[in-house]
Structure formats: structure tokens, C-alpha cells
Amino acid sequence: MLDLAGRHALYLQDKGHKVVGIDTSPLALEVSKIRGVKDCRLMSLYNLVFPDSSFDTVLLLGQNLGLGDVEGVR
């Protein structure tokens, strides 16, 4: 799956959007950076470190989220 790391972020970034990619896998983030994603951060959806109202849109894609119960995600 690492060959797919950052593909959505890279696509949106190439379309001119400001993108912040987050993942709990340091290796996935490294691959994303190598592929050209400018802003990648090691972070969990359950412990986001962003000021309120930082984003207009949050995009969660794929079967690999492993969220299960999203009640704890703000």
C-alpha cells in the first residue's frame, strides 16, 4: 500500500489546493514526502493538533482508515 501513499493529497496539491496530509505511519509520510506532498504530519485522527477552524474541508478516503467508531474524532 505504500506505493499509494499520499496520492490524493498530491492530486489536490497539484490542483492548487493547500493540503495537509496526516498519518500515523512514519513510513507512509516519508513516501508521501518523496512523492512531493509538501505538508505531511505524523498525527492521529483521535489527537489532532490544529487550531479550530483551520480547514474548510476534511477528506477521508479509502478502506485503510481503521477508524471503527468515529465518536472520538472531532
Could you tell me if residue 54 is inside a domain? Answer: no
Q: Across residues 18-39, what is the average pLDDT?
A: 92
pLDDT score, position 27: 92
Q: Does 73 reside within a domain?
A: no
Does residue 36 lie in a domain region? yes
State which residues form the domain around 31. 1-47
Q: 22 versus 73: which is more confidently predicted?
A: 22
Average pLDDT (35-51) is: 88
Predicted local confidence at residue 69, as pLDDT: 58
pLDDT band at 15 (very low <50, low <70, confident <90, very high): very high
Q: Which residue has the higher pLDDT, 54 or 74?
A: 54
Domain assignment of residue 8, yes or no? yes
Are the C-beta atoms of 5 and 31 separated by less than 8 Å? yes
